[in-house]
Structure 1
Amino acid sequence: MKSAIVRHILVKDKDLCIQLKQKLKNGTDFAKIAKQHSTCPSGKKGGELGEVKKGQLVGPIDKAVFSLAERELHGPIKSQFGWHLLEIKFRMDF
């Protein structure tokens, strides 16, 4: 069973998502941005989704979590909920 430790930021607007990604690349704290901007309930926890299992997240996000590089910032990624920035802390395979 594959699982991953992930945090993310969800916003409604692609342009805002791009702006936030640039702030993160410039060194702004991920948790701070998530708390200020994310519309996901995980935003209150700094964007922490904790451990997620393959198939647990919406399609485009699940695919990204289990295929993109670990310890990098990814996005904007579109889902039916809006635009996501993702950080895959690490993956495990049990």
Structure 2
Amino acid sequence: MQTAIVRHILVKNKELAEQLKKKIHDGADFTKIAKQHSTCNSAKRGGELGEVKKGQLVSVIDKLVFSAAERVLHGPIKSQFGFHLIEIKFRMMH
């Protein structure tokens, strides 16, 4: 079984997601940005989703988490909840 350690930021519009991504690329702290802007319950943990199993997340996010490069900020990715910025800390096979 594949699992991944993931953190993310969820916002309502693409423009805000793009602005936040730029701030993080320019050196802003992901945890602080997540706490200030993310609408997900994970915001209080700095965007940390912890260990997730394949199939546990919304399909568009799940596909990204289990195929995209690790330690890179991906997004914005649209789901029915809004726009996500995703960082895959690492993936594991159990």
Pairwise TM-score range, normalised by the shorter structure: over 0.9
Equivalent residue number for residue 78 of structure 2: 78
Task: Provide Cα deviations, 1:1-48, integer angstroms capped at 9, x if missing partner.
Answer: 000000000000100000000000000000000000000000110000
Equivalent residue number for residue 12 of structure 1: 12
- In the alignment, structure 1 segments of 5+ residues that lack a partner are none
Normalising by structure 1, what TM-score?
Answer: 0.99
Aligned length: 94
Distance 1:14 1:72 in 2: 18
* Deviation, structure 1 residue 73: 0.4
Distance 2:56 2:77 in 1: 17
- In the alignment, structure 2 segments of 5+ residues that lack a partner are none
Distance 1:43 1:63 in 2: 22
What RMSD in Å do the two structures reach over aligned CA positions? 0.3
Normalising by structure 2, what TM-score?
Answer: 0.99
* Deviation, structure 1 residue 78: 0.4
Letter in 1 for 2:34: A
Per the alignment, in what secondary structure is the counterpart of residue 39 of structure 1?
coil
Letter in 1 for 2:59: G
Letter in 2 for 1:9: I
After TM superposition, the runs of 4+ consecutive aligned structure 1 residues lying more than 3 A away are: none
Matched, 1:25 2:25: yes
